[in-house]
Amino acid sequence: MNTGIVKLAPSILSADFAHLGQQVADAERAGADRIHIDVMDGHFVPNLSMGAPIVESLRRVTHLPLETHLMISDPDFFLGEFTEAGSDSFLVHWEGNNNLHRTVQRIKALGKRVGVVINPATPATVLGEILQDVDQVLVMTVNPGFGHQHFIHTTLPKIRRVRQMIDEIRPGCDLEVDGGIDATTAPLVVDAGANVLVAGSAIFGEGEGVIAAMNRLGAAANQAMT
């Protein structure tokens, strides 16, 4: 069970891009810890999404850390571009990376926080040789590529295993989850050991507005710590 502070990372994949700056400002005002930016190339995942210009635009409207989730082939080719645009941290996938250690070390050399992502079917054991080098681990709780997916409940035991590995190997490393996170699933992942929750449609897709949605999600997450 997570006994620390739960951090919220709103994912702009579900935001209204006609009002993106205002929605990000609302998330910051409501206590967001960081802004999560999903970058997709249509190869690593079957979808296309935002690039470095979005990061550059967001850098002008928020003081929050910009967390760039690179769901792309050959992320090394784009690290410099996103760094110049204003990214504060990078999340790279274990799957499909020819030399994960080299990628992680390059991100660190750029002075950025680095995290490794594992997909739902990837076992926690693959983290054993890289965990000591990263600032966070992201466990995907849906298959990456699209928003508005349903939470995969069989990922909960893996979140617990990753929490145990972090506590043994890299205390202080963030354990983040991404996919289908809402007021119902947030307490489940926090109880399993997650301390950073990525949420898109549960924050930006609700008619009640970003601030109210953030407050509701935060309250639900904190239930697991009482």
Tell me the catalytic residues.
Answer: 38, 178
> What's the distance, CA 76 to chain centroid?
19
Rg (C-alpha) for the chain, rounded Å, is 16
User: What does each C-alpha distance from 84 to 16, 58, 92, 112 come to in angstroms?
Assistant: 25, 13, 18, 12
d(CA 152, CA 59) in angstroms, rounded, equals 33
Picking from 110, 217, 127, the residue whose alpha carbon sits closest to that of residue 173 is 127
Asked whether the beta carbons of 130 and 103 are under 8 A apart, the reply is: no
Half-sphere exposure of residue 55: CA atoms within 13 angstroms, side-chain side? 28
- DSSP annotation string for 90-115: EEEESTT-TTHHHHHHHHHHTT-EEE
* Positive or negative: CA dihedral 2, 221, 26, 47: positive
According to DSSP, the residues that pair with 70 across neighbouring strands are: 39, 92
Picking from 47, 56, 68, the residue whose alpha carbon sits closest to that of residue 20 is 56
Helices 210-222 and 20-29, axial angle in degrees (round to 10): 40
